[in-house]
Amino acid sequence: RVEVAASVRGRWLLRPVVAVVLLLAGRPMRRGFRDAVERAAEGWNEAVGRLLELGPDGIREELARQAARGRDGEDGDGRDVPKG
């Protein structure tokens, strides 16, 4: 379980308004945050699973391949060329 705390600074008159807005929007915000964390965890698990399938030598080869591809994706002035 992840808990997030927010501190609000500003005009004293707006603090009650912000408190009410956060009270009403809290549940959708928590749901969205939870969904985003779950999607990130799923992506992480998939990536780690693929890396574990490669083994140490396969991981080295993949890193070398991606490093070489990254160098090839640069133009003459050192900026990255958009891929895709």
Q: What is the pLDDT of residues 42-82, one digit of tens each?
A: 999 999 999 899 999 999 998 999 899 886 555 444 555 45
Containing structural domain, residue 42: 11-74
84 domain-assigned: no
65 domain-assigned: yes
2 domain-assigned: no
1 domain-assigned: no
6 domain-assigned: no
Sequence-distant (≥ 6) Cβ neighbours of residue 33 within 8 angstroms: 2, 4
Position with higher pLDDT, 80 vs 36: 36
Length of the chain, please?
84
* Number of DSSP helices (H) and strands (E) in the chain, helices first: 1, 0
Number of domains in the chain: 1
Confidence band, pLDDT 50/70/90 cuts, at residue 84: very low
82 domain-assigned: no
Position with higher pLDDT, 11 vs 61: 61
pLDDT for the residue numbered 80: 52
Whole-structure pTM value: 0.51
29 domain-assigned: yes
67 domain-assigned: yes
